[in-house]
Amino acid sequence: MITVRIRLFAQFREIFGGEVSLPLAPGSTVAGAVDGLVSRAPGGKKALLEDDGSIREFVVLMRNGKRIETNEAGTVPLADGDELAIFPPVAGG
């Protein structure tokens, strides 16, 4: 197994908590981590996934600080110790 550190912000932090340590099978992708996360909190699935199970388009994903497009999340593998950040559109300034 590998362990990925998931960090969540804003609305998603309120649903899942600010940080989740998620064990995954080796070779798991970013999309696999999101699938593993959503069942951990009530309302989690609706917050991050469309009805067909795809990641909602407005969700921002970053692997080790680098942006991953939601439609590519199924092809980006995760390694042990990776940090995956998940957050809604930004609203600073």
The answer to whether residue 65 forms part of the interface with other proteins (CB under 8 A) is: yes
Specify the stretch interacting with other proteins by CB under 8 A; choose among 5-13, 21-29, 43-51, 71-79: 5-13
Among 58, 68, 77, 79, binds other proteins (CB under 8 A): 58
* Encoded amino acid at 3, one letter: T
The answer to whether residue 89 forms part of the interface with other proteins (CB under 8 A) is: yes
Distance set, CA 54 to CA 16, 40, 48, 69, 92 (Å): 19, 17, 9, 12, 27
d(CA 12, CA 84): 13
The answer to whether residue 25 forms part of the interface with other proteins (CB under 8 A) is: no
